[in-house]
Amino acid sequence: MSDFSKLAINQFTTLHQWSLPQAIEGYARHGVHAIGIVRDKLHEVGVAAARQSLRDHQMKVTSHCVGGLLTDSDPQRFQANLQDTRRAIDEAAELGAECLVFVAGGLPEGSKDLPAARVRCLEGLADVLPYAAQAGVTLALEPLHPMICAFRSCLSTLSQANDWIEELDAGPELGIVVDVYHVWWDPNLEHELQRAAGRIVSFHVCDWLMNTTDLRLDRGMMGDGVIDIGRIRRLVEATGYAGYREVEIFSERNWWQRDPDEVVSITKARYLSDVLGQP
């Protein structure tokens, strides 16, 4: 009954508690064998040690987080972020990650020109895609909630991600991440998920707390909020997606303060009850 074979945990869920080797060992100890990796955490230990640890614990890498941030109007910073995205692609290839999560970036400092930021990001994406294709890595566009448009992601909706994909006319090196937290409110969710059929390469879950206190770091555990996660999972899977369900919780005030073993235990229980809908 308790099948955790498609459960992945993104390392952000235990960000303050565990290093990468600790997270790999910890998740595996709880019977979870897929992880989303945070770049800063990878850099603390290096790719070789990470690969060894992944092998030792039969751990698969679902996502590597993140590349992108290609909205800068300063040419030097724009080029530096392009270069950094290429490094992230290399890392994703070395880790055998299913995708590199691509976060667009927000408005450059002092700018109010959102349409221009979007154009720059799309151009940067076009620039870096052949590199991803050659490395055999899928860049996964993640539309992030409109409330973090200003400082984090000018890619704000599934509709926009679908439009970008149509415009770029790319191969399997370009996909989409669907995170329930970012898209649950979208009146066109069902239609845009259908449009994204075949492009969805990663599916993230957490919950929206009714009393959210922070725009970025106050996500809830599945079941503690108001998202009908089961409905969105079924819609995503109806498009043909058959991959992992990756739990990713940013939670400064709650889950990042808790004992990480407790976090993983509760994650597993809520995965069954609130993602799979088992009684």
d(CA 193, CA 188): 8
Residue 149 binding its own copies, by CB under 8 A: yes
Q: Could you tell me whether strands 245-247 and 99-103 are parallel, antiparallel, or unpaired per DSSP bridges?
A: unpaired
Closest to its own copies by CB, 185 vs 262, is 185
Residue 276 binding its own copies, by CB under 8 A: no
Residue 247 binding its own copies, by CB under 8 A: no
CB 7 within 8 A of CB 247: yes
Residue 102 corresponds to which tokens in the numbers above? 């691509």
Per DSSP, the three-state class of 239 is: coil
When binding is defined by CB under 8 A, the residue of 49, 80, 119, 147 that contacts its own copies is 147
When binding is defined by CB under 8 A, the residue of 160, 239, 254, 273 that contacts its own copies is 160
Per DSSP, the three-state class of 144 is: coil
Q: How far is the CB of 133 from its own copies (least distance, A)?
A: 26
Residues in 87-146 that interact with its own copies by CB under 8 A: 107, 111-114, 118, 145-146
CB 227 within 8 A of CB 181: yes
Closest to its own copies by CB, 91 vs 207, is 207
Of 65-73, 193-201, 207-215, 265-273, the window that binds its own copies (rule: CB under 8 A) is 207-215
Closest to its own copies by CB, 9 vs 103, is 103
Residues in 184-203 that interact with its own copies by CB under 8 A: 184-188
CB 112 within 8 A of CB 74: no
Query: H or E segment at 92?
Result: helix 75-95
Closest to its own copies by CB, 33 vs 145, is 145
When binding is defined by CB under 8 A, the residue of 2, 212, 265, 278 that contacts its own copies is 212
| Cα dist from 9 to 27, 95, 100, 201, whole Å | 8, 16, 15, 15
When binding is defined by CB under 8 A, the residue of 226, 240, 257, 265 that contacts its own copies is 226
* b/e sequence 169-185, b meaning 16+ C-beta within 10 Å: ebeebbbbbbbbbbbbe
Of 20-28, 151-159, 172-180, 262-270, the window that binds its own copies (rule: CB under 8 A) is 151-159
Of 8-16, 35-43, 65-73, 222-230, the window that binds its own copies (rule: CB under 8 A) is 222-230
When binding is defined by CB under 8 A, the residue of 10, 157, 202, 251 that contacts its own copies is 157
Q: How many residues sit close enough to its own copies to count as binding (CB under 8 A)?
A: 30
Percentages helix, strand, coil for the chain (3-state, rounded to 5) are 45, 15, 35
d(CA 99, CA 65): 9
d(CA 192, CA 57): 37
Identity at 7, one-letter amino acid code: L
Q: How far is the CB of 159 from its own copies (least distance, A)?
A: 7
Binding interface with its own copies (CB under 8 A): 107, 111-114, 118, 145-147, 149-151, 156-157, 159-160, 163, 184-188, 208, 210, 212, 215, 225-228
